[in-house]
Amino acid sequence: MARIGGRSTWLAVPAGLLCAGVVAALVWLALPMVPVSVFWVGETLRTATAPRAAPVQEKTPAQLAAAGLIDCRTLYPDGLWSELTWKGGVLLSQSTAPPATSVTSLTDALTPSIRVTCSWRLREGGRIVSTLAVVGPDAATIADAALRGQGFTCRETAGALACVRSRGNIIEDQRFRDGLWLSSVETIWQPEDYGSRVAAQVWNSATG
Residue range 98-153, pLDDT digits in tens: 999 999 999 999 999 999 999 999 998 899 999 999 999 999 999 999 999 999 99
Q: Is 147 helix (H, G, I), strand (E, B) or coil?
A: helix
Produce one character per residue of 126-142: b if its CB has 16 or more CB atoms within 10 Å, e if not.
bbbbbbbbbbeeebbee
pLDDT-derived band at 65 (thresholds 50, 70, 90) equals: confident
Q: How far is CA 37 from CA 31, 33, 34, 187, in A?
A: 10, 6, 5, 66
Q: What pLDDT score does 28 carry?
A: 62
Show the CA angle centred on residue 150, arms to residues 145 and 154, nearest 5°.
55
The DSSP 8-state label assigned to residue 148 in this structure reads H
Q: Supply the pLDDT for residue 104.
A: 94
151-200: per-residue pLDDT in tens? 999 999 888 999 999 999 999 999 999 999 999 999 999 999 999 999 99
Instruction: State whether 107 and 195 are in the same domain.
Output: yes
What pLDDT shows up at residue 44?
Answer: 60
pLDDT of residue 68: 76
Q: Which pLDDT score, from 0 to 100, does residue 190 have?
A: 96
The share of the chain scoring above pLDDT 90, in percent, equals: 60
Q: Are residues 121 and 180 in the same domain?
A: yes
**pLDDT tens column, 13-41:** 666 677 777 666 665 665 666 565 555 55
Same domain, 183 and 126: yes
> Does the residue 54 lie in any domain?
no
Output the pLDDT for position 121.
96
Shared-domain flag, residues 74 and 101: yes
What pLDDT shows up at residue 53?
A: 44
Do 45 and 132 belong together in one domain?
Answer: no
Do 95 and 194 fall within a single domain? yes
24 with 65, same domain? Answer: no
- Total residue count of the chain as it appears in this document: 208
Domain count for the chain: 2
* DSSP 8-state assignment for residue 204: T
What is the pLDDT at residue 30?
58
Residue 84 lies in a domain: yes
pLDDT on residue 158: 82
- Is the pLDDT confidence value at 86 over 80? yes
Report the CATH number that the domain containing residue 178 is assigned in CATH.
Answer: 3.40.1000
Q: How confident is the model at residue 56 (pLDDT cuts 50, 70, 90)?
A: very low
Residue range of the domain that includes 187: 61-203
Task: Tell whether the model's pLDDT for residue 1 goes beyond 50.
Answer: no
Say if residue 117 is in the same domain as residue 22.
Answer: no
